[in-house]
Structure 1
């Protein structure tokens, strides 16, 4: 489940180190090409709302295997895109279909015992974070040597191979929900209205992921400046920094089973804010940028894991719909961060990017302090 989560979620992030190459081929601005990751994240949010809740209604394994066919089609379409419009539409559908990780996480919570639920979620989330961050490393190197289009074709091949392993090994879980699809979607709104812990976790998650997205959307543009004179390969290599940080997911999962969750969140948000201070100061130093990226990954991942543990406490039967509420807002925050990152980079450079990332951290802290009880 962790491997599947990592390989599928990677589809949403292959584009980020390749943005400069895409903009150069299509002869459009950096701000215009930043629509590609933004639409991927919007598509992901749409998939979370329209597809993930079906995990409470349909057989999980069958649903996942069918979805894989649509992922492969979207990836091939992106690789063959004749222009930016086709690429953007394909990116929307890549995000829309690559929501399998958000079926796996509630599945892990459902299968785990109460005393090990945080650990189980942390294990699957480790796979997810390694996929998110490793995808950038892989696409950066593939883009540098084979061109950005090759990455999408390779990704389609990876998903095709994974399909056979899932058909062989993934257990089937029968659904809990007995109503119609319309009733299912309506019940998502009810989850949001009736669960204050869920609302707070979703808002915290959306703000920290916005901060995360600001960094990863604009990093390639900073590295291409004369100060560094680097490209997609070096931008992708930053994924190695994040993979080191991703290991913290399992540790945080275990801690969230025993420690005060508000304390974990407070410390994690402060780490993320500190990272932006380092990143702002490191506009001319690759070493400082690497350290800042590591701290940013640590802080964001720790908040996210703790949020997930909170919303799945007591193993509720509507776990997929709860996860839908959380992740829709989470990736809406990511799309917002991507959009704002592209704008502030164009007009204010790395100073504006750093201020925006730090500002999202401040908002997260204020929201948490206001409603943590």
Structure 2
């Protein structure tokens, strides 16, 4: 693929104009943020629509399920069609879905809009492969890390922004402002995102069928997907129940306070470019092991919070949030580096497989987290997060062992001489 060059602006040493990288990061962040606006304002939303807490909890669940379905069915289109056209179409549809959500007269309409928001927010997964395709190979980890920083900040700061806006102007304003933002992203993308040559000409059915072939053919893809899905379960269980936990004893805090915890998570997300650089230099496998281990340790640390006074508990939650977000995001960037290197002509499909698994994990975590919070309390949620993070670490350690064994078997003379 030969990207359009900008005659009035020379690319930087990464091969991309900085403003294009910034646009890709902002586009990824604002689109994926649409999945999380509802989380800190579920209590306000349920009260305004006269819905139960269980019904309101379906909003983020349908967001995540729609996103997983959209990645599976729509994200592969980036290999078949001009990715620029796909981006523009999804931006417009996402803006429409957000507007419908903001104007919803009742819970049924909002739930339908939530599913549509999830489906079209998959435009985030078109921005990221676009960055990987346009970047030079020696800088791919760094560029993907930068765009992922935008995506991850969108996830985390969406909670801060929606919590604050909902507290001042109401929950509907959150959706309507987000719709306007996606219109602006679409207009900027029409101006600055270059055209892409499709990497395949197969039909839509064959395109989807190739996802299964990629899954069967590449153990590295399977390991990355399973490990990231396990981390996503704990990540989503934490964030989807945090607001409810903080509203109860002993904290009695509102949606704005719950949203403010996103600032702690943002500190971890800002480390994504550094994780990308380490992956470029030391290999992404090392970063995945460190990230999964850090996530498990951070969740385990938060289990000790009840031993502290209230202010100490909040401080420990902040520290733990920074730690596990850093671990999860560093692992995700490294997993993307791994899968993008498998087959350059199938990056959209490889990305679709990875993120389908991840967001199935997200949806599962949201459902399991709500159930565990109701029956076992906050320690049950954290226990789930510790368990799934340890499973992710075990998968990555197994992958490392397999790679070492393969290297030894390939060089028996070195093995016997050691």
**Residue 268, structure 1, aligned to residue 268, structure 2:** no
1:14–1:136 Cα contact (<8 Å) kept: yes
**Residue 298, structure 1, aligned to residue 330, structure 2:** no
Q: Secondary structure at the match of 1:13?
A: coil
Q: Take 1:90 and 1:239, find their aligned partners in 2: how far apart are those partners? A: 24
**Residue 164, structure 1, aligned to residue 187, structure 2:** yes
Q: Take 2:274 and 2:202, find their aligned partners in 1: how far apart are those partners? A: 38
**Residue 228, structure 1, aligned to residue 251, structure 2:** yes
Q: Secondary structure at the match of 1:359?
A: helix
CA drift of 1:97 comes to 0.3
Q: Take 1:144 and 1:150, find their aligned partners in 2: how far apart are those partners? A: 10
Number of residue equivalences: 373
CA drift of 1:315 comes to 5.5
Q: Take 1:117 and 1:60, find their aligned partners in 2: how far apart are those partners? A: 18
Q: Secondary structure at the match of 1:81?
A: coil
**Residue 317, structure 1, aligned to residue 345, structure 2:** yes
- Match 1:138 to one of 155, 158, 161: 161
Q: How does 1:109-148 map to 2 (within 5 A)?
A: 109-148=132-171
**1:140-165 deviation line (CA, Å, top 9, x unaligned):** 10011111111001101111122211
**Does the C-alpha gap of structure 1 residues 260 and 169 become closer, same or farther in structure 2, counting only changes over 3 Å?**
closer
Q: Which residue of 1 aligns with 2:314?
A: 286
- The answer for unaligned runs of 5 or more in structure 1 is none
**Does the C-alpha gap of structure 1 residues 227 and 32 become closer, same or farther in structure 2, counting only changes over 3 Å?**
same
Q: Which deviates more, 37-46 or 109-118?
A: 109-118
Q: How does 1:220-259 map to 2 (within 5 A)?
A: 220-259=243-282
Q: Which residue of 2 aligns with 1:16?
A: 39
Q: Take 1:321 and 1:195, find their aligned partners in 2: how far apart are those partners? A: 13
**Residue 339, structure 1, aligned to residue 367, structure 2:** yes
Q: Which residue of 2 aligns with 1:174?
A: 197
2:36–2:155 Cα contact (<8 Å) kept: yes
Q: How does 1:38-53 map to 2 (within 5 A)?
A: 38-53=61-76
Q: Which deviates more, 289-298 or 261-270?
A: 261-270
2:91–2:185 Cα contact (<8 Å) kept: no
TM-score when normalising by structure 2: 0.86
Q: Which deviates more, 277-286 or 252-261?
A: 277-286
Q: Take 2:388 and 2:57, find their aligned partners in 1: how far apart are those partners? A: 19
Q: Which residue of 2 aligns with 1:4?
A: 27
2:87–2:127 Cα contact (<8 Å) kept: no
**Does the C-alpha gap of structure 1 residues 49 and 5 become closer, same or farther in structure 2, counting only changes over 3 Å?**
same
Q: Take 1:279 and 1:87, find their aligned partners in 2: how far apart are those partners? A: 34
Q: Take 1:268 and 1:176, find their aligned partners in 2: how far apart are those partners? A: 32
Cα root mean square deviation, aligned: 1.4
**Residue 326, structure 1, aligned to residue 354, structure 2:** yes
1:31–1:346 Cα contact (<8 Å) kept: no
Bigger relative contact order, structure 1 or 2 (CA pairs below 8 A, ≥6 apart)? 1
Q: Secondary structure at the match of 2:351?
A: helix
Q: Which residue of 2 aligns with 1:67?
A: 90
Q: Which deviates more, 192-201 or 109-118?
A: 109-118
Q: Take 2:286 and 2:185, find their aligned partners in 1: how far apart are those partners? A: 38
Q: Take 2:393 and 2:185, find their aligned partners in 1: how far apart are those partners? A: 39
- The answer for unaligned runs of 5 or more in structure 2 is 1-23, 403-418
CA drift of 1:33 comes to 2.0
CA drift of 1:84 comes to 2.1
**1:50-108 deviation line (CA, Å, top 9, x unaligned):** 11111111111122112222111211111122222221211111000011121121111
Q: Secondary structure at the match of 1:176?
A: coil
CA drift of 1:259 comes to 1.0
Q: Secondary structure at the match of 1:99?
A: helix
**Residue 98, structure 1, aligned to residue 126, structure 2:** no
Q: Secondary structure at the match of 1:257?
A: helix
2:229–2:358 Cα contact (<8 Å) kept: yes
